[in-house]
Structure 1
């Protein structure tokens, strides 16, 4: 059999071709050459924004070879000589590389990059075609039974392949120089003329917002790849091109061509899926977009990480139907994964790739190049006035663009802060258009991750407006984004106090825990945790009635991260006697013991033992009596002494000592002694 390479994650302009197995029969090799040749010929119908002439000539020559291969297949029933097999093996390797090259030249999203690499791409065409010519030159045609006409065609291909120049197309060269001229204008702080920008886009057949967005996404992925390899020249060029394409997307294209019936509905969260069927793209367990969908034996599809957690918890039934699984095999649903990825790419929806690396955030402190920096500065100055005096659609698009551009770049956030975009974004929070309100609050969420923006938001009265969205947002997504924004603002101690002193802040967060979607619940819980870093907010959080809601999440939530966050807040509340009293007044203890005994998360176990220790310290005999009467608890505590984190081990040791002391006191009929203060251990 012929070895096949997995090119799913292949870098562009990298050709991981593989030699056929030595044991493969000439007949099998010939059939695979026919398949490869047909695949290459199919590229004739693809769009070549650049390299048109080189691609056309390469495909023409392979089409002739296809005739040759097919005639050999039809006329040769006997085995081919070994010398022929060796030539065919070399042709097979080269055709693989040519197919990869054509795939790159027609890849949507890589057009501007292929243009700027036009010299290298032309060289690749020339090298590959001449390699084919060399293989044909040593091919013993006399030992192959084919017609004289076909033999002459093959000889003609070999001769032409040696002579073919495969130079850079003059039109490609002019277009590339046009791009470089625009990048030089950015470096010189000159605003490029829109006609020059449009000329480049027209040449590359980039005619819509979504096509431009694909170019940005591709360059972003390449930048991450290059940064890990230290190729600084490539990184700087890609950064400059990304700045240029961001400029094009914002300035040239007025309409975001999402697949939504409402043209002004510029959303990048899951609700944009309403134009298809959101249930097809969401995991039934986590309710989030699936990154790696897999199908189980009942035929239902889940995200791999979610269903694995379900199975590891000892559940061997289908989460959706309750049907018992006949097998725990997880079958990748590649078709659905590609649909999700394509839809997200078309609509600017961020979604992580399975197994992808975390982005190196230090790369986003600076723009990557002077051209990219100035392009972003010009964009920020372009968008700021449109937020204030534009039409409703212009304001919406401006907020959406800031939302996208500020998501992962520290430098971009600084540009938008400097351009004065925060005050008009705050004004848009009062919009009666749900889409405008959502894009504005999401943009502010991303900006609030930057210290200077935090100050501007609060000093411009943003806290009151964000709290209004939290409690009365036009959509649930607006409310959950507002909760996340409060979390980032609460990282500043002064604002942590200010938020706690605002009467409706904490009750609104607690209400979101009760009523919100899973993401809203999580954002509200982590925001409460941030506010609890200021001791003065402790009592107000208790009075808002958060404890029963958190205990409910321990039993009802299928999201492990939400359970962990709930445990973290309960552990902090239990550090004080009033928190302990409220927690003991609920059904929390059995659930804490269950989680401690069954959870596979070391973090959850640590929070549980911290909670139990605080409850014993502050709750005395009532808590210790319940724990002491639970036989399975001690085994879990002793397990933590060796398998838990260092902090969990210390807390488990303290709790074991307390319970043993209580047991001894109870056995002698004495009252349990008061627990020494030094046994109180603060959670992290």
Structure 2
């Protein structure tokens, strides 16, 4: 009956218990009660950082009732309707108690359960009283039990009515200490490490890994809260994230964190694209925009996020900090269509994305003042470690920055303002692979911040980043460096700087040639960014990139790499030299036509049509002759006229006209040639 109580989508301290149906058989109900009771008793072996007495008393009582239930099952006793009704109430109560014990013993939930101590102790009291109520109305005299078991059940009923289920004084003292610490943070006063250590010791949080588990749990609770549209607890959750982040970075800096240090250089973390999700994310929620709107400063946000920002009394543009001259929100239909196209091509559900929107307080601004001040203190500490710490301290500081800058604009802002970028750039020359990786990954996260890009450039960051791109100790690190170049190239002025920088384009092309699939992709999109500055076209062509891009079109199981390669080819084809270079690559035209015929992606179709149109315009009859020989091309183009995007449809129509004109010209030449031949023959 109870398949799985530990539901992954359940918020902690919520108890979605289900009442047994009225038609349930007594044997099934009894068996499920026994299973639940045993599961509850198993918690006796689990550690409880808080609520020790309440948990122990609850488990003890359920253990006694387990003996009672097992005897009924062993003796095969018949259960009357009144007994089944009582057991149904017990079943509901046992489910809730199971949820409560899971939460109190769950890894990573110690701080949150401590701060909810009053609520948790109340829940224990309510559930134990519910057991007493069910036992009070249980017709025990009608059940054929042994005297010992009967006396035990009566004892449990009596004790559960009188049990003192209350808040442990030590839990309350620890909770008050946490509140004092958070108040000190809020007042911009750095708490005494000894005071924080007392709380950590009480909760048995003794390592970097323990702190990290607490942070991950608290972040998950905030996410689940946003799913439930319940943000009342976000300030407290955010303050605890700030406290635990501070503890992880400052108090456990000498701890071994290598076991928890999981590399996040996998494709899903460090891979970017020409149609990059970062461009479609709301600067406030950091999620895909479902209804993009533009404000007076020209910046675009998701409607729900910017409305919440404005309703909270903020009249500044979240991204630029400039005062809004008006609060009018203008729908951005073009961007909305692009996002929908991107989601369609990549199998992303917009409704799911909408549900996963993070709360505004975790991105642009801190979730609460205490969290903000804790982050600022931590950023300053990490900057000091990067500048003056030992080798190991510098390595750990770089890793902490990498984690902190991953998901919050506010964190990135604090880290940039505290001066972390210059020392991180110096660490890129390290011979330690872990140091190089953490420093490069941290810079990648910070390069997503507008000020971060500027600081990198102003501090001569191109040279050390290029050094990693050219000769990084691991291919994965080189792919991260390529991603940094991509984000830097989003600033128009920096495209020229990177294009002029000796060896930059060559190094990106080399990564396309020899890198991992993710490295190839990052290098391709970095090139795409540089091509937005037209003088870079000739430099890119001179690097011999076209044959490499054509080879990537056949990459198995990597549609995203094909898409980005086509995007770069489409950009290059816009110039005559680029078009000639593509045509002169023997396999280029067949590969592009094959991609057009085999893809279901609207983006790929648009890139293919753009390339073919540019090639026909620049290289004329040679390309048209090849296309004209393939009867399927015209059919594909006609389908795009009706089913493609407005841009694709327009280009398809132009290409159809060129092909029709080519056919007409060819037919005319042939018709004129036949009489002439006949006339000569007669003569």
Distance 2:618 2:452 in 1: 41
> CA distance change for structure 1 residues 173 and 217 in 2, over 3 Å: closer, same or farther?
same
SS in 1 for 2:431: coil
Deviation at 1:5, TM superposition (A): 6.5
SS in 1 for 2:190: coil
Distance 1:607 1:361 in 2: 36
Please say if residues 3 and 20 of structure 1, whose CA atoms lie closer than 8 Å, have aligned partners that are also in contact.
Answer: no
Q: Where do 5+ consecutive residues of structure 2 fail to align?
A: 272-351, 672-683
Deviation at 1:143, TM superposition (A): 2.0
Please say if residues 256 and 266 of structure 1, whose CA atoms lie closer than 8 Å, have aligned partners that are also in contact.
Answer: no
> CA distance change for structure 1 residues 150 and 112 in 2, over 3 Å: closer, same or farther?
same
SS in 2 for 1:491: coil
SS in 1 for 2:144: coil
**RMSD between superposed Cα atoms in Å:** 2.1
Higher relative contact order (CA 8 A, sep 6+): 2
Deviation at 1:393, TM superposition (A): 0.5
SS in 2 for 1:122: helix
Deviation at 1:267, TM superposition (A): 5.5
Match of 1:634 in 2: 634
1:204-243 superposed matches below 5 A: 204-243=203-242
Match of 2:158 in 1: 159
Q: Deviations over 1:569-593 (max 9, x none)?
A: 1111111111111111121222222
Please say if residues 266 and 435 of structure 1, whose CA atoms lie closer than 8 Å, have aligned partners that are also in contact.
Answer: no
1:400-439 superposed matches below 5 A: 400-439=399-438
> CA distance change for structure 1 residues 2 and 169 in 2, over 3 Å: closer, same or farther?
closer
Given the alignment of the two structures, is residue 621 of structure 1 paired with residue 616 of structure 2, yes or no? no
1:495-644 superposed matches below 5 A: 495-586=494-585, 587-644=587-644
TM-score by length of 1: 0.83
**Count of residues in Structure 1 that have an aligned counterpart in Structure 2:** 587
Please say if residues 465 and 481 of structure 2, whose CA atoms lie closer than 8 Å, have aligned partners that are also in contact.
Answer: yes
Distance 1:113 1:35 in 2: 28
Match of 1:679 in 2: none
1:163-174 superposed matches below 5 A: 163-174=162-173
Q: Deviations over 1:261-283 (max 9, x none)?
A: xxxx9552369xxxxxxxxxx99
Match of 1:73 in 2: 73
Match of 2:176 in 1: 177
Distance 1:45 1:203 in 2: 19
Distance 1:595 1:94 in 2: 60
> CA distance change for structure 1 residues 421 and 670 in 2, over 3 Å: closer, same or farther?
farther
1:358-397 superposed matches below 5 A: 358-360=356-358, 362=360, 363-397=362-396
Distance 1:439 1:498 in 2: 25
Deviation at 1:259, TM superposition (A): 5.7
Match of 1:45 in 2: 45
Please say if residues 72 and 146 of structure 1, whose CA atoms lie closer than 8 Å, have aligned partners that are also in contact.
Answer: yes
Given the alignment of the two structures, is residue 667 of structure 1 paired with residue 670 of structure 2, yes or no? no
Match of 1:250 in 2: 249
Please say if residues 265 and 480 of structure 2, whose CA atoms lie closer than 8 Å, have aligned partners that are also in contact.
Answer: no
TM-score by length of 2: 0.83
Please say if residues 182 and 239 of structure 2, whose CA atoms lie closer than 8 Å, have aligned partners that are also in contact.
Answer: yes
Distance 2:487 2:257 in 1: 30
Distance 2:661 2:255 in 1: 68
Please say if residues 6 and 99 of structure 2, whose CA atoms lie closer than 8 Å, have aligned partners that are also in contact.
Answer: no
1:645-684 superposed matches below 5 A: 645-669=645-669
Q: Deviations over 1:231-274 (max 9, x none)?
A: 444111111000000000011112454565xxxx9552369xxx
Please say if residues 240 and 369 of structure 1, whose CA atoms lie closer than 8 Å, have aligned partners that are also in contact.
Answer: yes
> CA distance change for structure 1 residues 416 and 270 in 2, over 3 Å: closer, same or farther?
closer
Match of 2:123 in 1: 124
Match of 1:466 in 2: 465
Using the TM superposition, name which of 134-143 and 398-407 deviates more: 134-143
Given the alignment of the two structures, is residue 488 of structure 1 paired with residue 493 of structure 2, yes or no? no
Please say if residues 39 and 99 of structure 1, whose CA atoms lie closer than 8 Å, have aligned partners that are also in contact.
Answer: yes
Q: Where do 5+ consecutive residues of structure 1 fail to align?
A: 272-281, 287-354, 672-684
